[in-house]
Structure formats: structure tokens, C-alpha cells
Amino acid sequence: MSIFNNLKVAFKDKSDFELNRSLLIFSIISNPVISKSLITLTKTLIKLKIPFRLFYQTYNLQTVLRRN
């Protein structure tokens, strides 16, 4: 059985907050204008050596696969 046949199993380790945050991030990066603007902003911050924090987004698929 694939873990993606049942999304409750696939994402049971994630809280509602984490899932909603992921949805927001993917919605933002799917917009080409916003995505291009953020890339430009990031390059500018790096060039000016201004510190900034990247959003941490990860899914550990290996952990999910090992449990089944």
C-alpha cells in the first residue's frame, strides 16, 4: 500500500499548523510574480550582506516509508 493512498497516514507526523504553513508557502511560490520578486530580494540581501532567515520546510519521506 502506498502511503499516498491515505493522506492521514502520509502526514500524521505533521500538525495542522505545519500543514497550513506548507500550503501557504507552496501557494506563494506558485505565483510567478511573487516568486521572482522574492528571488530578487534574496539576491539583494545576499549582495548587501544583510542577514535573513530562510523558511525551513522539509518532509522526511524515509522516516514515513520505514514505519510501514
CA distance 38 to 36: 5
pLDDT of residue 59: 57
- Phi-psi label, residue 52: left if phi above 0, alpha if psi -120 to 50, beta otherwise: beta
Domain coverage including residue 30: 3-67
Average pLDDT over residues 7-25: 81
Angle value at C-alpha 7, between 34 and 3, nearest 5 degrees: 115
Choice between 24 and 8, residue whose per-residue pLDDT is larger: 24
pLDDT of residue 14: 79
Domains of the chain: total? 1
pLDDT, one tens digit per residue, over 26-60 is: 898 899 999 999 999 999 999 999 998 876 665 55
Answer whether 41's CB lies under 8 Å from 35's CB: no
Confidence tier at 4 by pLDDT (50, 70, 90): low
